[in-house]
Every structure is written in C-alpha cells, then in structure tokens.
Structure 1
C-alpha cells in the first residue's frame, strides 16, 4: 500500500533558496515539491520545513553513559535518552562519537565502547531509536592502547567516520601552555609539581605513539572506505599531513591559516555550533564566525549541545554578511551528508529520503531559540 503525506503551507528550505509551498512524501521519500498555497494536507502554518539535520560529531552519548566520574549508566537507557534529545533538536542522522584510547586523563576501558556499539545496534534492531545512528571513532593517537580499541571495530559497518586526534600539550588544540594549563591544571586541581609531571608524560606519549598510530589508522580506513577527519589542525604542515592521509573533513582547525588551507584543498571545514551561538571557542581558539566571514566554513557540529545545531544557522545567517539562511542550513544538512558519502539525504529534492524538520523561528530576534515542532524520518513522524 502506498503511504502518502502532504505537508502544506511551509517555507521550504532548499539548498539555494526558500520557497513557499508544499511537499509530498510517498513511501519514505520526497515525491514532489509544489509552490503556492494549498488546502491539502497538514498545514505547516508558515513554519520552515528543512531537511533533517546531519550531525557528524557529538560527544553527547558519552555524557549520558558517564554522567559523573566513576558512574556508568545502563547503555540502552543512555542511548535512548541521547536519541530523544537529538531528534527533538531536528537531527535525523547522527554520528555518535566513541572514544578510542585511554590514559590518565580519561577514556574508557577496552571493550567498553565495543559494548556501546553493540547496544546501539541492538537498540536500532529493536526499533527503539528515532534518528539513524552511525559511529564516529575519535581516535586519541597519542595513547598506548588506541589500536587495541580500534581493532575491536575492524568489521563494524556502523563505523562511517574516524577522526585522528592528539590533545598533548604543544599539539594542535593546545598550541600554547596557557590554554593547556587552564584546561587541565585548573580542571584537575593539580599542584605545580603534579602538573609538570603530567605534561611530561603526555608529551612523551605523543612523541612515541602519535605518528605511527595516525598512519596505521588512516591506512585501515582507506582500505575499508571509511571517511577520515583530521582534528584541531593548526599549521600548514598539519594540513599537508591530512592531505596525505586522504582526509575529507577538517574538524575544529585552530588557526585561520589552517582553515583556509584545508578548505582550499577540498576538505570540508567543520566548527562547533556552540562556538557560533557563544561567539567564541570554549578553549580560546578561533571564532567560527570569522571562518564563515572568510567563506571557509562548511559544516557545523553540535559537539556538546545538541540544540545548538538548529540554533546556530539562524544566528550565522543574521550576523555574518553574505551567509544566507539556506547556505547556513546547508552546513548542517547537505554538506555534512555529502562529506561522508550519504547522498540520499540532506536536501529537499524528489527521490531523496523524507527526513524533515518543521521549525518555527521568531523573525524579530535573530538570536531567538528556534522551536522544532515536528520531525519526520523516512516519511514517518518521529517527534
């Protein structure tokens, strides 16, 4: 039996324009787009109708699973809570970050993230989830056991993205000791002596492991056709290294020079949506709006606040000259989907998946928090 739904009287966000009209959904896909008013179907009351958001980098599942130091929540319950929050933020495709590699600064025991991935697969199979979930492995290449963690996923088809990270002092995100001291010494409450020892250990680990682990993981991803992301690139040398590893996504570059070079090499440059909403980076690096103004911002990620992914495009369109709302929404829909090879979603066009979000936004205040009123995944209402 053919299943049809008509969503009428909407402001439809296409990739390059906004049109008033209706969208016909048939058997889980977008069948047609009609312009003009209509008395047929469900009245969107002039709200925006946009593609379901595509989230490539969120650490939020970890926050549900490990809500306090030493606390581990039931995995299925954590997954369902996370899934509910991302869907009601308009996200229909989410890449859940699982950390690979553990050290004294944190991480998870060997087997823990493998069990989480199995719980994700089971939750999907049991029809518990409203968004579609893939896995993004965040590989801390300077840890001794990162390859052991990574090898637990060597046959997992859920893995569609892998990022190569090194958070050691003097590397990438922490180019200056001032930033590193604030982030680690203050957060951990270390004495001067204890912090000095901690820094020495982290540098030694990076010197020993980062390069060989980075190369091994990149080679494994190339063999399996998994998209690779660089992380916190700061210099032109970092960008050239990323090019050599076939990187498609430059996550959170920490300098304008690196962002421009990555964009110029054909990588999608990703920054945090919270950075847009706050107007600055939480770790003291470059502001994402600056990259947007230079025309080198391609993708936004909610990172640690799911609702920021729908909030940030409205702020960006209002506050950065030359960035239209359609272009800003593409940063959370079409471009991230293309970057990881998901060509069946991210746009409102005939033949693509009917992954959609109905969003109301108070036009009088550019910084007003949008309201996600309804969400459809493959034509089925999920929120």
Structure 2
C-alpha cells in the first residue's frame, strides 16, 4: 500500500476552494478534509489542483522535427516533450500527430508511424511521467489521410481525432488576404508562386476532403473514437459537426460558431496562448471574449505547454465572470469528460491521485512546485 498525504493546502475542488488536506492511497483519492491528516506534507498554503488534461498539443511534433528537414529519434523526442509537459503540471496529454501528406511536408507515412509507435512503446516501458495518448490530426484535403487513419486508429494509445481543413479562403483563413499574409512570407514565394500554391490547395480540397471525411468518420464511429471539429467559422460548419457526432469544437474562429457549438452541446476548446496573449495569433476571436460570453469550455496549450497553467490562473483576472475553480475545470475536468476519461480531472473521492502543487501570488506567473500522477511524484 502506498500513500500520499497533503495538508495545509488551498484545495481547488469543482465548486469551491477549501483550506485542508487530501489523502491518496494506492493512486486513488480516498479522503478530503478541512482539517489535517497524519504524517502529511505541509503545502504551506500553496494551491493543490488536479493534474492538467491537455487535448491538443503539437509539441511532440516540434521535438520530433526540431528544424526544417531534421527528424529526431522519436523516443528521445517524446521523452524531451514529456519532461516539459509534466513540468508544466500536465498529467494527461493527447499528443497531436498530423496525418495526411501534402507538398508542404512530403510523404509523412513513416514519420506518423514512428511517432505513434514511440508513444505506445514508451508507455508500455514506463518511460513517461505523464499519461500519453495520441490525437490524430486529420488533414482532410490530402491523398492519404484516410489510409493513415486506418493504419493507426485502432491502436490502444489513440484516443481522439480531429477533422481539419486548412484550405485557403475558409475556416481559419476566411480571407485569401489573411492566408497570403501568413504563408507567403513563411514559404518565401513570389506573388505568382503563391497564387499557384493557393490554386493547387483548393483543387486538392475538391479532390480529397469530402471522401476522407466520410471514410474517417465511418471508421472512427465503428470503434467509438471521440472526434473534434476544427476551426468552425459558421453555423453551417457547426451543423455539420453536430450531424457527424463531434464532441469537441476546437478553436472556433467566430463568436457565431462558438455560441452555436456550445448551444449544441459541443465542448468549445480554445488555445491557452490566446488567453495569455489576450488575442488570437491570426486575428480570430479572442478566448477571453468567449469566456465572458459563457461559451468557453476547455483550454489547450496548443504550442506552449506551460500556457495551460498560466491561462488557468490568468483567466479569472481577465474575465470576472469566471471563478478560479471554473478556470481550473477548463484544464482538468472538462477536457477529461470531453475525451471520455471519467477517472480523472478533479479532486474528488475515488478519482485518480493526479495532483499539482502551485505557488501563485495575484498577477504572478504560477510556480509548479510538485506533480503527482496516481499518487507518485513525477516532477
């Protein structure tokens, strides 16, 4: 029998913050009290929150491809990524792995296989601090997205898939000017080259997107996989997501789409960097605006792991409509529920002892002082 006893903590529960103690036995929370417990670690008034649940981070891919044209050993890349997410208080993470090859990235079949197999192998070998799952990020306007999906969707480590379409002129890039402004400099193209690039991407959408969407949805629903829509901009997009059984609306780009998604029962997910920066990096709707309107459900670190913790503590200061416990729920219990993980995401009797100790003064960046996964210290 193993035990973790904590006292003198500000314990963030689902509906309140209490000063008290928590006891974890054999990885499960068995006691929560406003008093103290014997032989406990004194938290000195620090916050105790549930381990964060991250549904969409590209960070593993960034470690695997640290430079253009460079790929790293997948296990080493994963362990580097894992150390950073655990150090940020993330105890459950869905590593986004792009599927679908296009001229931007070339044939990524071998890369997808390497990353998925690395997570499965490292998990089985007990190499990882956090609990890792795979989020298949399906780029629909590509020739092999459905083939990649079929190869990997039944792997036990895969728990979530999102349907993405970054074709210029729609969704995230509702205007061609916006798309050109972002990509022309990045890709170092002349005006003529950029115009041809856009024409080619739109042709690929017409050729592949609908067929891939239908095939991926059919297969995923057969095996009970959770799905997310992505970059919904209109009520028509949301209607499509509801029709197709999505449970999450990732990064809606307009208030209209966010409100329709929330009203339809989808968990509206926005980027934590959006909260930290106070705006979207590409000029779309602000996450803080959605929070104030009562239609923000989940935050994701997206491309900066620590942004998840930072945003959870910043949000109540930037949106008075949101309490600390509500903000913490957006990075713990709500993403856990959206991913069909009922055993974690809150400090409650019978839940996993995934816990984080935080020191934070008003206005400061939070300090992660300890991370436990199922009662075992991991950071």
TM range (shorter): over 0.9
Provide the residue aligned with 2:22 in structure 1.
Answer: 23
Provide the residue aligned with 2:164 in structure 1.
Answer: 165
Q: Is the CA contact (8 Å cut-off) linking 1:9 and 1:38 kept in structure 2?
A: no
Q: How far is 1:108 from its partner? A: 5.3
Provide the residue aligned with 1:69 in structure 2.
Answer: 68
Provide the residue aligned with 1:58 in structure 2.
Answer: 57
Q: What residue ranges of structure 1 are gaps of 5+ in the alignment?
A: none
Deviations 1:124-161 (A, max 9, x none): 12211000000000000011111121121143111110
Looking at structure 2, the residues matched to 183 and 143 of structure 1 have their Cα atoms a distance apart, in angstroms, of 21
SS in 1 for 2:196: helix
Provide the residue aligned with 1:206 in structure 2.
Answer: 205
Q: What residue ranges of structure 2 are gaps of 5+ in the alignment?
A: none
Q: Is the CA contact (8 Å cut-off) linking 2:5 and 2:37 kept in structure 1?
A: no
Q: Is 1:371 the equivalent of 2:367?
A: yes
Q: Is 1:237 the equivalent of 2:233?
A: no
Out of 172-181 and 303-312, give the one that drifted further. 172-181
Q: How far is 1:104 from its partner? A: 1.5
Provide the residue aligned with 1:312 in structure 2.
Answer: 311
Q: How far is 1:113 from its partner? A: 1.0
SS in 1 for 2:15: coil
TM-score normalized by structure 2?
Answer: 0.98
Looking at structure 1, the residues matched to 163 and 296 of structure 2 have their Cα atoms a distance apart, in angstroms, of 20
Looking at structure 1, the residues matched to 304 and 107 of structure 2 have their Cα atoms a distance apart, in angstroms, of 21
Q: Is the CA contact (8 Å cut-off) linking 2:154 and 2:223 kept in structure 1?
A: no
TM-score normalized by structure 1?
Answer: 0.97
Q: Is the CA contact (8 Å cut-off) linking 2:270 and 2:296 kept in structure 1?
A: yes
Q: How far is 1:177 from its partner? A: 1.2
Runs of 4+ in 1 over 6 A off after TM superposition: none
Q: Is the CA contact (8 Å cut-off) linking 1:21 and 1:38 kept in structure 2?
A: no
Q: Is the CA contact (8 Å cut-off) linking 1:99 and 1:108 kept in structure 2?
A: no
Q: Is the CA contact (8 Å cut-off) linking 1:110 and 1:148 kept in structure 2?
A: no
Looking at structure 2, the residues matched to 111 and 87 of structure 1 have their Cα atoms a distance apart, in angstroms, of 27
Out of 100-109 and 318-327, give the one that drifted further. 100-109
SS in 1 for 2:280: coil
Trace 1:1-383 onto structure 2 (pairs within 5 A): 2-37=1-36, 40-106=39-105, 109-363=108-362, 365=363, 368-383=364-379
Q: How far is 1:89 from its partner? A: 0.2
Equivalenced residue count is 379
Q: Is the CA contact (8 Å cut-off) linking 2:11 and 2:48 kept in structure 1?
A: yes
RMSD: 1.1
Q: How far is 1:35 from its partner? A: 0.3
Deviations 1:59-113 (A, max 9, x none): 0001100000000111111000000000000000000000000111226521321
Q: Is the CA contact (8 Å cut-off) linking 2:268 and 2:298 kept in structure 1?
A: yes
